[in-house]
Protein backbone atom coordinates (compact mmCIF):
# COMPACT_ATOMS: atom_id res chain seq x y z
CA UNK A 1 0.00 0.00 0.00
CA UNK A 2 0.91 3.63 -0.26
CA UNK A 3 2.89 5.06 2.62
CA UNK A 4 0.65 8.11 2.66
CA UNK A 5 3.40 10.41 1.38
CA UNK A 6 2.54 10.37 -2.33
CA UNK A 7 6.15 10.77 -3.39
CA UNK A 8 7.11 9.24 -6.72
CA UNK A 9 10.43 7.44 -6.02
CA UNK A 10 11.60 8.14 -9.57
CA UNK A 11 11.39 11.87 -8.95
CA UNK A 12 11.83 12.51 -5.23
CA UNK A 13 13.74 10.97 -2.34
CA UNK A 14 12.36 10.57 1.17
CA UNK A 15 14.90 12.34 3.37
CA UNK A 16 12.85 14.91 5.31
CA UNK A 17 12.64 15.27 9.09
CA UNK A 18 9.87 12.67 9.17
CA UNK A 19 11.23 10.63 6.29
CA UNK A 20 12.08 7.72 8.56
CA UNK A 21 8.60 7.56 10.07
CA UNK A 22 7.36 4.04 9.40
CA UNK A 23 3.88 3.73 7.99
CA UNK A 24 2.20 0.35 7.93
CA UNK A 25 -1.37 1.51 8.20
CA UNK A 26 -3.32 4.71 8.59
CA UNK A 27 -4.64 4.83 12.16
CA UNK A 28 -8.02 3.20 11.50
CA UNK A 29 -9.21 3.40 15.09
CA UNK A 30 -9.07 7.17 15.01
CA UNK A 31 -10.93 7.28 11.71
CA UNK A 32 -13.72 5.03 12.99
CA UNK A 33 -14.05 7.10 16.13
CA UNK A 34 -14.27 10.32 14.15
CA UNK A 35 -16.67 8.98 11.54
CA UNK A 36 -18.99 7.73 14.27
CA UNK A 37 -19.11 11.15 15.89
CA UNK A 38 -19.50 13.22 12.73
CA UNK A 39 -22.37 15.68 12.86
CA UNK A 40 -23.94 14.55 16.07
CA UNK A 41 -24.36 18.25 16.71
CA UNK A 42 -24.30 21.37 14.58
CA UNK A 43 -21.02 22.96 15.70
CA UNK A 44 -22.35 26.44 16.41
CA UNK A 45 -25.32 25.19 18.41
CA UNK A 46 -25.43 24.38 22.07
CA UNK A 47 -23.41 25.90 24.88
CA UNK A 48 -20.19 24.08 24.24
CA UNK A 49 -17.37 24.91 26.58
CA UNK A 50 -14.85 22.51 25.09
CA UNK A 51 -13.41 22.03 21.62
CA UNK A 52 -15.86 19.42 20.26
CA UNK A 53 -15.28 17.36 23.42
CA UNK A 54 -11.74 16.56 22.24
CA UNK A 55 -9.22 15.84 25.01
CA UNK A 56 -6.74 18.66 25.71
CA UNK A 57 -3.86 16.33 26.48
CA UNK A 58 -2.96 13.09 24.74
CA UNK A 59 -4.38 10.11 26.60
CA UNK A 60 -1.61 7.70 27.67
CA UNK A 61 -0.37 5.25 25.06
CA UNK A 62 0.71 2.87 27.82
CA UNK A 63 -0.93 -0.53 27.75
CA UNK A 64 -1.75 -2.98 30.60
CA UNK A 65 1.95 -3.85 30.79
CA UNK A 66 2.61 -0.70 32.78
CA UNK A 67 0.24 -1.33 35.74
CA UNK A 68 1.29 -4.99 35.56
CA UNK A 69 4.87 -3.81 35.99
CA UNK A 70 3.81 -1.61 38.92
CA UNK A 71 2.45 -4.77 40.58
CA UNK A 72 5.42 -7.03 39.75
CA UNK A 73 8.11 -4.43 40.47
CA UNK A 74 6.35 -3.30 43.64
CA UNK A 75 6.05 -6.85 44.99
CA UNK A 76 9.71 -7.44 44.14
CA UNK A 77 10.81 -4.25 45.89
CA UNK A 78 8.84 -5.04 49.05
CA UNK A 79 10.04 -8.67 49.04
CA UNK A 80 13.67 -7.60 48.61
CA UNK A 81 13.27 -5.21 51.55
CA UNK A 82 11.67 -7.85 53.78
CA UNK A 83 14.31 -10.38 52.76
CA UNK A 84 17.17 -8.07 53.72
CA UNK A 85 15.58 -7.06 57.02
CA UNK A 86 14.75 -10.67 57.90
CA UNK A 87 18.30 -11.77 57.07
CA UNK A 88 19.69 -9.01 59.30
CA UNK A 89 17.34 -9.20 62.30
CA UNK A 90 15.39 -12.42 61.93
CA UNK A 91 17.99 -14.98 62.94
CA UNK A 92 18.28 -18.58 61.69
CA UNK A 93 14.53 -19.18 62.08
CA UNK A 94 13.76 -16.76 59.28
CA UNK A 95 16.19 -18.19 56.70
CA UNK A 96 13.38 -19.98 54.77
CA UNK A 97 11.50 -16.67 54.63
CA UNK A 98 14.63 -14.89 53.39
CA UNK A 99 14.98 -17.45 50.61
CA UNK A 100 11.38 -17.02 49.47
CA UNK A 101 11.72 -13.24 49.57
CA UNK A 102 14.76 -13.42 47.30
CA UNK A 103 12.95 -15.68 44.85
CA UNK A 104 9.99 -13.30 44.70
CA UNK A 105 12.34 -10.34 44.24
CA UNK A 106 14.11 -12.09 41.39
CA UNK A 107 10.91 -13.21 39.71
CA UNK A 108 9.24 -9.81 40.16
CA UNK A 109 12.12 -7.79 38.77
CA UNK A 110 12.63 -10.04 35.77
CA UNK A 111 8.94 -10.39 34.89
CA UNK A 112 8.50 -6.66 35.53
CA UNK A 113 11.38 -5.79 33.21
CA UNK A 114 9.73 -8.00 30.60
CA UNK A 115 6.50 -5.99 30.94
CA UNK A 116 8.38 -2.71 30.53
CA UNK A 117 10.22 -3.87 27.43
CA UNK A 118 6.95 -5.21 25.99
CA UNK A 119 5.33 -1.79 26.32
CA UNK A 120 8.06 0.04 24.36
CA UNK A 121 7.33 1.21 20.85
CA UNK A 122 10.80 0.03 19.79
CA UNK A 123 11.59 -2.96 22.00
CA UNK A 124 15.04 -3.57 20.53
CA UNK A 125 16.14 -0.19 21.90
CA UNK A 126 15.27 -0.93 25.54
CA UNK A 127 18.89 -0.46 26.58
CA UNK A 128 18.61 3.22 25.64
CA UNK A 129 16.90 3.52 29.05
CA UNK A 130 20.40 3.45 30.55
CA UNK A 131 21.95 5.68 27.88
CA UNK A 132 21.78 8.84 30.02
CA UNK A 133 20.86 9.61 33.62
CA UNK A 134 18.20 12.29 33.83
CA UNK A 135 17.21 13.21 37.39
CA UNK A 136 14.16 15.15 36.15
CA UNK A 137 12.73 11.95 34.68
CA UNK A 138 11.29 9.49 37.20
CA UNK A 139 11.51 6.87 34.45
CA UNK A 140 15.25 7.43 34.12
CA UNK A 141 15.76 7.36 37.90
CA UNK A 142 13.60 4.24 38.03
CA UNK A 143 15.63 2.50 35.36
CA UNK A 144 18.71 3.05 37.46
CA UNK A 145 16.91 1.58 40.47
CA UNK A 146 15.38 -1.38 38.63
CA UNK A 147 18.50 -2.53 36.78
CA UNK A 148 20.75 -2.97 39.87
CA UNK A 149 17.87 -4.34 41.97
CA UNK A 150 17.18 -6.98 39.35
CA UNK A 151 20.86 -7.87 39.21
CA UNK A 152 21.24 -8.02 42.99
CA UNK A 153 18.02 -10.00 43.42
CA UNK A 154 19.19 -12.59 40.91
CA UNK A 155 22.64 -12.72 42.52
CA UNK A 156 21.10 -13.20 45.98
CA UNK A 157 19.36 -16.34 44.68
CA UNK A 158 22.26 -17.72 42.67
CA UNK A 159 25.33 -16.88 44.77
CA UNK A 160 26.13 -18.98 47.85
CA UNK A 161 26.66 -17.93 51.45
CA UNK A 162 28.06 -14.52 52.30
CA UNK A 163 28.05 -13.36 48.67
CA UNK A 164 24.36 -14.17 48.41
CA UNK A 165 23.75 -12.30 51.67
CA UNK A 166 25.62 -9.28 50.39
CA UNK A 167 23.55 -9.27 47.19
CA UNK A 168 20.42 -9.68 49.32
CA UNK A 169 21.35 -6.62 51.37
CA UNK A 170 21.98 -4.58 48.22
CA UNK A 171 18.62 -5.60 46.74
CA UNK A 172 16.98 -4.80 50.07
CA UNK A 173 18.58 -1.35 50.17
CA UNK A 174 17.13 -0.57 46.73
CA UNK A 175 13.80 -2.31 47.46
CA UNK A 176 11.95 0.62 49.05
CA UNK A 177 12.95 2.78 46.09
CA UNK A 178 11.70 0.20 43.62
CA UNK A 179 8.38 -0.13 45.45
CA UNK A 180 7.79 3.62 45.65
CA UNK A 181 9.28 5.39 42.62
CA UNK A 182 6.50 4.18 40.33
CA UNK A 183 4.18 6.56 42.21
CA UNK A 184 6.06 9.64 41.01
CA UNK A 185 6.42 8.01 37.60
CA UNK A 186 2.63 8.03 37.50
CA UNK A 187 2.00 11.45 39.04
CA UNK A 188 4.76 13.36 37.23
CA UNK A 189 2.48 13.69 34.19
CA UNK A 190 -0.22 15.98 32.86
CA UNK A 191 -2.91 13.34 33.44
CA UNK A 192 -5.34 15.22 35.73
CA UNK A 193 -6.19 12.43 38.17
CA UNK A 194 -2.64 11.14 38.49
CA UNK A 195 -1.15 14.60 38.94
CA UNK A 196 -3.82 15.51 41.51
CA UNK A 197 -3.08 12.51 43.72
CA UNK A 198 0.69 12.91 43.71
CA UNK A 199 0.98 13.18 47.51
CA UNK A 200 -1.09 10.13 48.48
CA UNK A 201 -0.01 7.94 45.57
CA UNK A 202 3.38 6.86 47.01
CA UNK A 203 1.75 5.56 50.22
CA UNK A 204 -0.79 3.67 48.11
CA UNK A 205 1.84 2.11 45.85
CA UNK A 206 4.08 1.10 48.74
CA UNK A 207 1.21 -0.43 50.72
CA UNK A 208 -0.02 -2.24 47.67
CA UNK A 209 3.52 -3.51 47.00
CA UNK A 210 3.92 -4.82 50.56
CA UNK A 211 0.46 -6.39 50.41
CA UNK A 212 1.27 -8.17 47.13
CA UNK A 213 4.60 -9.42 48.51
CA UNK A 214 3.14 -10.74 51.76
CA UNK A 215 0.25 -12.37 49.87
CA UNK A 216 2.72 -14.17 47.62
CA UNK A 217 4.70 -15.27 50.69
CA UNK A 218 1.56 -16.63 52.37
CA UNK A 219 0.59 -18.45 49.19
CA UNK A 220 4.02 -20.04 48.87
CA UNK A 221 3.86 -21.37 52.41
CA UNK A 222 5.24 -18.68 54.72
CA UNK A 223 3.33 -18.63 57.97
CA UNK A 224 5.76 -16.47 59.96
CA UNK A 225 4.23 -13.89 62.26
CA UNK A 226 6.41 -11.22 60.62
CA UNK A 227 4.65 -11.78 57.30
CA UNK A 228 1.22 -11.51 58.91
CA UNK A 229 2.17 -8.32 60.76
CA UNK A 230 3.45 -6.70 57.55
CA UNK A 231 0.38 -7.95 55.66
CA UNK A 232 -2.00 -6.37 58.16
CA UNK A 233 -0.04 -3.11 58.19
CA UNK A 234 -0.01 -3.06 54.37
CA UNK A 235 -3.75 -3.67 54.09
CA UNK A 236 -4.52 -0.88 56.55
CA UNK A 237 -2.10 1.33 54.61
CA UNK A 238 -3.89 0.49 51.35
CA UNK A 239 -7.28 1.44 52.76
CA UNK A 240 -6.02 4.65 54.38
CA UNK A 241 -4.05 5.82 51.35
CA UNK A 242 -6.93 4.85 49.07
CA UNK A 243 -9.13 7.20 51.06
CA UNK A 244 -6.45 9.88 50.88
CA UNK A 245 -6.26 9.52 47.09
CA UNK A 246 -10.01 9.97 46.78
CA UNK A 247 -9.82 13.11 48.89
CA UNK A 248 -6.88 14.50 46.94
CA UNK A 249 -8.26 13.66 43.51
CA UNK A 250 -11.74 14.93 44.31
CA UNK A 251 -10.65 18.42 45.36
CA UNK A 252 -11.85 19.20 41.85
CA UNK A 253 -14.93 17.01 41.41
CA UNK A 254 -14.40 16.50 37.70
CA UNK A 255 -10.84 15.23 38.18
CA UNK A 256 -11.77 12.56 40.73
CA UNK A 257 -14.89 11.48 38.87
CA UNK A 258 -13.40 8.29 37.30
CA UNK A 259 -12.97 6.93 40.84
CA UNK A 260 -16.74 7.22 41.31
CA UNK A 261 -18.04 6.48 37.81
CA UNK A 262 -17.40 3.90 35.10
CA UNK A 263 -15.29 0.75 34.92
CA UNK A 264 -12.36 2.34 36.77
CA UNK A 265 -14.73 3.05 39.67
CA UNK A 266 -15.93 -0.57 39.69
CA UNK A 267 -12.34 -1.77 39.77
CA UNK A 268 -11.53 0.71 42.54
CA UNK A 269 -14.47 -0.49 44.63
CA UNK A 270 -13.59 -4.14 44.03
CA UNK A 271 -10.04 -3.47 45.19
CA UNK A 272 -11.29 -1.98 48.45
CA UNK A 273 -13.65 -4.89 49.14
CA UNK A 274 -10.90 -7.41 48.36
CA UNK A 275 -8.46 -5.62 50.65
CA UNK A 276 -10.97 -5.60 53.51
CA UNK A 277 -11.78 -9.30 53.03
CA UNK A 278 -8.07 -10.10 52.90
CA UNK A 279 -7.44 -8.09 56.05
CA UNK A 280 -10.24 -9.76 58.00
CA UNK A 281 -9.10 -13.25 56.97
CA UNK A 282 -5.46 -12.42 57.79
CA UNK A 283 -6.47 -11.29 61.28
CA UNK A 284 -9.05 -13.91 62.19
CA UNK A 285 -8.68 -16.73 59.67
CA UNK A 286 -7.40 -20.22 60.31
CA UNK A 287 -4.48 -21.77 58.44
CA UNK A 288 -6.48 -22.44 55.27
CA UNK A 289 -8.69 -19.35 55.25
CA UNK A 290 -5.55 -17.24 55.70
CA UNK A 291 -4.35 -18.52 52.34
CA UNK A 292 -7.67 -17.61 50.75
CA UNK A 293 -7.32 -14.20 52.38
CA UNK A 294 -3.83 -13.82 50.92
CA UNK A 295 -5.14 -14.59 47.44
CA UNK A 296 -8.02 -12.12 47.79
CA UNK A 297 -5.61 -9.52 49.16
CA UNK A 298 -3.33 -10.02 46.17
CA UNK A 299 -6.26 -9.49 43.81
CA UNK A 300 -7.08 -6.35 45.77
CA UNK A 301 -3.65 -4.83 45.33
CA UNK A 302 -3.59 -5.71 41.63
CA UNK A 303 -7.06 -4.18 41.18
CA UNK A 304 -6.02 -1.00 42.98
CA UNK A 305 -3.12 -0.33 40.61
CA UNK A 306 -5.20 -1.09 37.54
CA UNK A 307 -8.03 1.09 38.88
CA UNK A 308 -5.69 4.08 39.31
CA UNK A 309 -4.29 3.43 35.83
CA UNK A 310 -7.72 3.24 34.19
CA UNK A 311 -9.08 6.19 36.15
CA UNK A 312 -6.15 8.33 35.01
CA UNK A 313 -6.77 7.45 31.37
CA UNK A 314 -10.45 8.33 31.77
CA UNK A 315 -9.52 11.71 33.27
CA UNK A 316 -7.11 12.36 30.38
CA UNK A 317 -9.95 11.83 27.91
CA UNK A 318 -12.07 14.45 29.69
CA UNK A 319 -11.15 18.00 28.61
CA UNK A 320 -13.17 19.46 31.49
CA UNK A 321 -11.01 17.61 34.01
CA UNK A 322 -7.94 19.40 32.64
CA UNK A 323 -9.69 22.78 32.37
CA UNK A 324 -11.32 22.72 35.79
CA UNK A 325 -8.19 21.49 37.53
CA UNK A 326 -6.15 24.34 36.09
CA UNK A 327 -8.83 26.96 36.68
CA UNK A 328 -9.15 25.82 40.28
CA UNK A 329 -5.45 26.32 40.94
CA UNK A 330 -5.49 29.71 39.19
CA UNK A 331 -8.00 31.30 41.53
Partner 1 sequence: MATGFFTDTTVCIGCKACEVACKEWNQLPDDGFVFSGMSYDNTVMLGASTWRHVAFVERRRNDDFSWLMMSDVCKHCRSAACLEVCPTGAIVRTEFGSVYVQPDICNGCGYCVVACPFGVIDRREDDGRAWKCTLCYDRQRGGLEPACAKACPTDSIRFGEVDELRRLAEARVSTLHGEGVSDAYLYGVDQPGTDGLNAFFLLVDEPEVYNLPPDPSTPTKVAASSWSHVLAAGAALLGATVVAVVGGRQR
d(CA 159, CA 154): 8
Radius of gyration of the chain (CA): 23
Considering only residues 267 to 326 of the shown chain, the ones binding partner 1 according to CB under 8 A are 316, 319, 322-323, 326
Residue among 1 and 160 whose Cβ is closer to partner 1: 1
* Residue 46 vs 160, nearer CB to partner 1: 46
Q: Residue 163 CB, nearest distance to partner 1 (Å)?
A: 22
Residue 206: strand, helix, or coil = helix
Residues 6+ apart with CB under 8 A from 165: 87, 156
| Euclidean distance between CA atoms 145 and 198, whole angstroms | 20
Residue 249 near partner 1 by CB under 8 A: no
DSSP state of 286: -
Footprint of partner 1 on 205-224 (CB under 8 A): 205-206, 209-210, 224
> In 3-state terms, what secondary structure has residue 190?
coil
What are the residue ranges of helices labelled H in the chain? 28-37, 65-89, 95-119, 138-158, 161-187, 192-196, 201-219, 225-249, 253-256, 263-284, 287-317, 319-330
Counting residues that bind partner 1 (by CB under 8 A) gives 114
Considering only 86, 169, 255, 279, the residue that binds partner 1 (CB under 8 A) is 86
Site for partner 1 in 141-180 (CB under 8 A): 143, 175-177, 179-180
Question: Whose Cβ is closer to partner 1: residue 147's or residue 270's?
Answer: 147
**Contact region for partner 1 (CB under 8 A) — 106-114, 130-138, 146-154, 288-296?**
130-138
Residues 136 and 134: their CA atoms lie apart, in Å, by 5
- The answer for residues whose C-beta is within 8 angstroms of residue 204's C-beta and 6 or more apart is 183, 238, 241, 242, 244, 245, 304, 308
User: Interface with partner 1 by CB under 8 A: which range of 27-35, 152-160, 272-280, 290-298?
Assistant: 27-35
The stretch among 32-40, 155-163, 269-277, 287-295 that binds partner 1 (CB under 8 A) is 32-40
| Contacting residue, 195, 255, 296, 302, with partner 1 by CB under 8 A | 195
Of 21 and 220, nearer to partner 1 (C-beta) is 21
Question: 95: how many CB neighbours lie within 10 A of its CB?
Answer: 12
| 96 touching partner 1, by CB under 8 A | no
The residue range among 127-135, 156-164, 268-276, 287-295 that interacts with partner 1, by the rule CB under 8 A, is 127-135
Amino acid sequence: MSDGRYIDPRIGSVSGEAGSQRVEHIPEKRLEELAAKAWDQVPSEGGRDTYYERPVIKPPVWKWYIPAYFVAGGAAGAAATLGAVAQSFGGEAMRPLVKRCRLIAMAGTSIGTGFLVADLGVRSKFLNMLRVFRPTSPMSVGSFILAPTAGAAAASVVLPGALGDLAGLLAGALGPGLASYTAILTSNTSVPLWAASRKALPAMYVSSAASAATSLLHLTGSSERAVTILDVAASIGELASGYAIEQEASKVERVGRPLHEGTSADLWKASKIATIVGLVLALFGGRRTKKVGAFVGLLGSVAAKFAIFRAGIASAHDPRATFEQQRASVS
